[in-house]
Amino acid sequence: GKAKTGENNTAAKGEVLARVNGKVITTEEFKKEQENLPPYLKASLEDMEGKKKFLDNLVTRELILQKAKKTGLDKDASVVSKLEEIEKTLLIEALLKKEIEGKAAFTEKEAEEYYNSHKDEFKDGEKVKVSHIMVKTEKEAGDILKKLGKKERFEKLAKKYSIGPTASKGGDLGYIERGATGVPEFEDAAFKLKKAGELSPVVSAGSAFHIIKFFERKDAEAQTFDKVKDKIITTQAKKKQKELFESFVSSLKKEAKLEINDSLFKDEGKKEEKPAEGQKEEGVTGKKEEAHSEEKK
């Protein structure tokens, strides 16, 4: 039959590629199934062999589907309820895509406008360049500080005594940014230092004791637009989506005739612990009141 016609002719007319117990698989269906494949699998359908194999997969799937229906599985309650759930999810996704996603895009131009009007948000913090010697006891730190007072070299003592990971580099930590180390006591001591070569007293931070040597300070500076562009686009698009979703839902509530009987939850509560005074009306009730206040507007 027509299943054997030349490929170009077949593709153009959407003709019958296979019949499975009378159920037809056309070239159009084949194309549709092909389009749904991930890119790495699409490539395998470029030659005749790949196409034949894919058609065989479709035939096999149809046979299994027919067998499942014959067995009555398509009427099985759990299968029907799962199919209904899938349908609901797909419908909701399609609607939200139509109503929200397209409208929530945040353009590069908008991102640049946001950047220019919120420059304070996009700064690298103040930084100081320091080295440190880290030891286990306060006494040990005190002894090292005395040696430093006698002009012994900081780098040499760091290599000899420090238990920190930077010991081999003479304790060099490079630049540290305010708020970025997670050890506030260390930061406070480091940022108090002013002059190149200045040493801190013994600092207790974390589970160790430190002596810090100061080199230089870098003031907070603005991050370039290119550095933060993607972050702005992502966060602002999410924010826009959330706002659109909330206003979409509230407009649905305004148009709808709603009856919510959340007093039923209170009966359940009796079996459990009673809520503390002042907490009775929270949760779903709060949502209900919001919906009513929306309606009054």
Mention the CATH class of domain 123-222.
alpha beta
Q: How far is Cα 151 from Cα 134, in angstroms, rounded to an integer? A: 19
The yes-or-no verdict on residue 274 having pLDDT over 60 is: no
Average pLDDT of the segment spanning 56-74 = 94
User: Domain-by-domain residue ranges, the chain?
Assistant: 2-75, 86-122+225-256, 123-222, 257-297
Q: How far is Cα 16 from Cα 28, in angstroms, rounded to an integer? A: 9
Q: How far is Cα 201 from Cα 209, in angstroms, rounded to an integer? A: 10
Q: How far is Cα 229 from Cα 215, in angstroms, rounded to an integer? A: 33
Confidence of residue 209 (pLDDT cuts 50, 70, 90): very high
Confidence of residue 244 (pLDDT cuts 50, 70, 90): very high
Which of 115, 134, 143, 247 minimizes the C-alpha distance to 189?
134
Average pLDDT of the segment spanning 209-234 = 93
- Residue 283: the pLDDT is 42
pLDDT, averaged across the chain: 85
pLDDT, tens only, 48-62:
999 999 999 999 999
The yes-or-no verdict on residue 38 having pLDDT over 90 is: no
Average pLDDT of the segment spanning 168-183 = 91
Burial of residue 1 (CB within 10 Å: 0-12, 13-18, 19+) is exposed
Confidence of residue 206 (pLDDT cuts 50, 70, 90): confident
